[in-house]
């Protein structure tokens, strides 16, 4: 444990910590203060650009012990030193300082209502979760589809926000959206769907970023029969869209479903 009991800028703790350029690390430590204070810290080493292996960071301390963790990639290869500073009068306690290699390749931070997953590598990682989580639900997205998961794949240099628990007891299936035919297609394709009961239907096309391309249908329809709608590969301004993948999504008061469609010009 390290403590400081006077004001000004003082070095609190330092040691030789080897880091390798481009490798991921997590710096962890526990800290508290006699009153609200800012704790400044950085890693320095002669093998890093401008002798800085980790740029200066700041955390706010208070009277309660709290664990802090900072994921980062080393800017260079060096035997680095860790400096911690306070610039105001007061007492600060630092304990259990560690620098662990590799932990920041896939970074996870849990919150009361969910968790955040960040993949800092150039490879997709499938993460086994410790409970059931629920993906975000974004119209037009086949990734953020509201599904419940116990394993989640995070693509390279990407992240995921998952909500804790399931969305509740699933409702009985109230319809079906079939795969468009033909697929891939050019210049047009047919989209078929069925309803269990008569209700209002909105059928729309989105791009892979979730942006609306065109609404194909937005009205009440009868049940117990197959409905067919065609899309000619144009947007809501009647202009042809580019080749690529698009999302067909159906929304009704009782169910929602999406399918990928591929347009080849």
Tokens 């769907």 locate to: 193
In a 13 Å sphere around the CA of 8, the CA atoms on its Cβ side amount to 4
Asked if residue 119 belongs to a domain, the reply is: yes
Asked if residue 198 belongs to a domain, the reply is: yes
Q: How far apart are CA 61 and CA 74, in angstroms?
A: 25
Residue 99 pairs in a beta bridge with 27
pTM score of the predicted model:
0.40
Q: What is the domain-level CATH number for residue 68?
A: 2.60.120.260
In terms of domains, do 50 and 83 share one? yes
- Residue 140: give the domain boundaries: 106-164
Determine the pLDDT at residue 169.
Answer: 40
Q: How far apart are CA 143 and CA 145, in angstroms?
A: 6
Asked if residue 170 belongs to a domain, the reply is: no
- Quick one: tokens of 163? 């909500």
pLDDT at 265 over 60: yes
In terms of domains, do 52 and 95 share one? yes
| pLDDT bracket for residue 166 (50, 70, 90) | low
Which pairing describes strands 16-19 and 2-4: parallel, antiparallel, or unpaired? unpaired
In terms of domains, do 241 and 193 share one? yes
| pLDDT bracket for residue 215 (50, 70, 90) | very high
Q: How far apart are CA 94 and CA 13, in angstroms?
A: 9
Q: What is the domain-level CATH number for residue 179?
A: 2.60.40.4070
In terms of domains, do 200 and 143 share one? no
In terms of domains, do 97 and 111 share one? no
Asked if residue 21 belongs to a domain, the reply is: yes
Biggest alpha carbon distance in the chain?
A: 80
Among residues 101, 121, 143, the one where a domain terminates is 101
| Number of domains present in the structure of the chain | 3
User: By mean pLDDT, which of 54-63, 64-73, 135-144, 217-226 is the weakest?
Assistant: 135-144
Return the higher-pLDDT residue of 112 and 45.
45
CA 177 from chain center: how many Å? 28
Return the higher-pLDDT residue of 193 and 12.
193
- Quick one: tokens of 79? 């035997």
pLDDT digits (tens, 9 = 90+) for 172-184: 556 789 999 999 9
Sheet strands side by side (includes 226-231): 175-177, 189-195, 226-231
In terms of domains, do 149 and 193 share one? no
Determine the pLDDT at residue 247.
Answer: 93
Q: How far apart are CA 192 and CA 181, in angstroms?
A: 8
């Amino acid at each position: 444990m390290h403590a400081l009991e006077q004001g000004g800028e003082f070095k609190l703790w330092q040691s030789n910590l080897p880091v390798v350029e481009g490798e991921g690390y997590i710096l962890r430590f526990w800290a508290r203060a006699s009153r609200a204070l800012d704790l400044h810290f950085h890693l320095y080493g002669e093998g890093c650009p401008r002798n800085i292996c980790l740029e200066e960071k700041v955390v706010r301390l208070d009277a309660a012990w709290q664990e802090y963790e900072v994921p980062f990639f080393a800017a260079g290869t060096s035997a680095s030193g860790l400096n911690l500073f306070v610039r105001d009068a007061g007492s600060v306690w630092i304990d259990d300082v560690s620098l662990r290699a590799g932990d920041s390749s896939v970074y996870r931070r849990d919150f009361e209502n969910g968790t955040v997953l960040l993949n800092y590598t150039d490879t997709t990682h499938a993460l086994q979760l410790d409970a059931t989580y629920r993906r975000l639900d974004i119209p037009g997205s086949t990734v953020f589809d509201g599904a419940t998961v116990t394993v989640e794949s995070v693509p390279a240099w990407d992240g995921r926000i998952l909500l804790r628990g399931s969305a509740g007891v699933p409702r009985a299936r109230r319809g079906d959206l079939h795969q468009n035919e033909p697929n891939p297609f050019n210049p047009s394709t047919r989209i078929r769907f069925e309803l269990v009961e008569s209700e209002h239907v909105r059928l729309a096309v989105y791009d892979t970023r979730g942006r609306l391309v065109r609404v194909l249908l937005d009205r009440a329809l009868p049940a117990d029969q197959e409905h067919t709608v065609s899309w000619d590969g144009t947007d809501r301004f009647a202009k042809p869209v580019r080749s690529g993948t698009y999302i067909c999504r159906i929304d009704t008061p009782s169910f929602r479903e999406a399918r990928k469609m591929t347009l080849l010009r």
